[in-house]
Amino acid sequence: MQIKLKFLGAAQNVTGSRHMLEANGVRVLIDCGLYQERQFRDRNWEPFPIKPKSIDAVLLTHAHLDHCGLLPKLVREGFRGKIYCTDATAEIARIILLDSAHLQEEDAEHKRRRHEKQGRKGPYPEVPLYTTQDAEACFPHFKTVKYQQTIEINNTVKATFCDAGHVLGSSMIKVDVKHNSQQRSVLFSGDIGRPDRPIVRDPNIPENVDYVVIESTYGDREHKPTGDVKDDIADVVNSTKKAGGNIVVPSFALERAQEILYYINELLLENAIPHLKIFLDSPMASRITKVFEQHPELYDEEMTEFIKQHQSPFKLPNLKMAGTSDESKAINHIKESIMIIAGSGMCTGGRIKYHLVNNITRPESSIMFVGYQAIGTLGRIIVDGAKEVRILGEQYPVKAKIVQIHGFSAHADRNELHKWLSKFKTSPKKIFIVHGESDSAKAFGEYLKGKTNWQVSVPQYQDEVILD
Ligand SMILES: [Zn+2]
């Protein structure tokens, strides 16, 4: 038995998830994500560390860009196999990859103009990392699978997808390898959700796992005890409505926007908030919400029950999905109190910036943050209490109420990750910790060593191990 694992991304960092498993003459890539952390972004431009043509299949855990965002480049550079994932993942990945290609094209054009003006050249050519055409060329490679369905890469290497409970369609993937009379299995956790989240199910507990490659985004901490998320949202809506301002919600397009709508719907049914107009001002979030509506088979029990008793939480009577930029601009002329949900989630781009410009100087308005704000982003600067911020080239005093609602994370924390591993019927032979900043991954390793007698390793970029 010889299985080779090579860690090609998200090794002591969070983005660029990419792992290769090689066994019995077959090469499988698990995820092919984009590097988003500034210090690692150059890796997006480097040639693939292994020849794309030599890879037989890609197994995709979910549609977040840091897991699927380099697929167009992989295909352009010669990958010819299938990209296996759930149907919801395929549908959402299409939306996300087209958006990403569009941003890459815009970025390249901005860079070209900037360099021209400054009369200099950057280290890489001023071309998009990949184009819309490249993104479209990778879609025919998608081959959808169902949860618990086993697919054969060849007759000795098989993969089974199960629900990771992270975002709609997200999977953990178990790869089984047979060699003579021996059998080994390697589980790739992808991103692991938390128990009791709205809409998606709790993470699955797979059986007969020998090796685990596990994420550790929150491997060094526990989530803050969350008050009741719904109560917190209701407080913001009610007080802002009373003051006569708007509630501006910077939100990620996948999962977070749909969770907000879910909570708002429940609050309306409970008469805990007034019927105010809600704008989902993100074409990407609107398209992804449609994918959610088309996949009721993926909902958890509460959501299924909710729909039986009421209707889809995504069909609020006062919900408007803004499409064109004119529709988006028209929102600012509405005089009554409204809620505006827009991207990007950390205020680094997108329509949220215009809504911030129109509301951040109004003491009667609220900016309600519902997601993680990375250091250096406009969202983080606002959350950290800046008195003045620069948005779209202008300075604005921060007068609006700034609220951060905790309890929305889609990643299991240290304790929840350990609990999840502890539910496995048999102890794994070894755990490889990935997809966490170096400190977080190492701290999670120490934490596991303190709690168990498992073998634990925190691989580095391009490390290679042989599993027996
Ligand atoms: Zn994710």
Tell whether the model's pLDDT for residue 226 goes beyond 80: no
Tell whether the model's pLDDT for residue 107 goes beyond 90: no
Phi, psi of 82 (to 5 degrees): -95, 150
What is the whole-number distance in angstroms between the Cα of residue 225 and the centre of ligand 1? 22
Quote the pLDDT of residue 151.
Answer: 97
Q: What is the mean pLDDT of residues 55-84?
A: 97
Identify whether the C-beta of residue 371 lies closer than 8 Å to the C-beta of residue 377. Answer: no
Tell whether the model's pLDDT for residue 256 goes beyond 90: yes
Strand ranges (E), 96-224: 142-145, 150-152, 157-163, 171-179, 182-188, 211-215
Q: What's the sign of the alpha-carbon dihedral 173, 430, 205, 92?
A: negative
Tokens encoding 204: 């699955």
Quote the pLDDT of residue 237.
Answer: 98
The CA–CA distances, whole Å, from 462 to 9, 10, 45, 465 equal 8, 10, 16, 10
pLDDT band at 311 (very low <50, low <70, confident <90, very high): confident
Quote the pLDDT of residue 374.
Answer: 80
Interval 359-382: pLDDT, tens: 999 999 999 999 888 878 899 999
Quote the pLDDT of residue 41.
Answer: 87
Q: Please state, in angstroms and rounded to a whole number, the distance separating the CA atoms of residues 48 and 211.
A: 25
Quote the pLDDT of residue 422.
Answer: 95
Give the 3-state DSSP-derived string for 67-89, with helices as H, strands as E and coil as C.
HHCCHHHHHHCCCCCEEEEEHHH
What is the whole-number distance in angstroms between the Cα of residue 64 and the centre of ligand 1? 5
What is the whole-number distance in angstroms between the Cα of residue 178 and the centre of ligand 1? 30
The helix (run of H) or strand (run of E) holding residue 441 is helix 438-451
What is the whole-number distance in angstroms between the Cα of residue 166 and the centre of ligand 1? 7
- pLDDT, the chain, mean: 94
What is the whole-number distance in angstroms between the Cα of residue 189 and the centre of ligand 1? 11
Per cent of the chain over pLDDT 70 is 100
What is the whole-number distance in angstroms between the Cα of residue 330 and the centre of ligand 1? 33
What is the whole-number distance in angstroms between the Cα of residue 155 and the centre of ligand 1? 30
Quote the pLDDT of residue 413.
Answer: 95
Tell whether the model's pLDDT for residue 124 goes beyond 80: no
What is the whole-number distance in angstroms between the Cα of residue 70 and the centre of ligand 1? 15
What is the whole-number distance in angstroms between the Cα of residue 192 and the centre of ligand 1? 8
Instruction: Indicate the pairing of strand 277-281 with strand 319-321.
Output: parallel
pLDDT band at 36 (very low <50, low <70, confident <90, very high): confident
Protein residues near ligand 1, an ion, with CB under 5 A: 64, 191
Tell whether the model's pLDDT for residue 247 goes beyond 80: yes
Q: Please state, in angstroms and rounded to a whole number, the distance separating the CA atoms of residues 411 and 409.
A: 5
Tell whether the model's pLDDT for residue 262 goes beyond 90: yes
Phi, psi of 220 (to 5 degrees): -110, 10
Peptide bond into 344 cis (omega under 30): yes
Quote the pLDDT of residue 349.
Answer: 85
Tell whether the model's pLDDT for residue 384 goes beyond 90: yes
C-alpha 190: how far from its chain's center? Answer: 11
pLDDT band at 292 (very low <50, low <70, confident <90, very high): very high
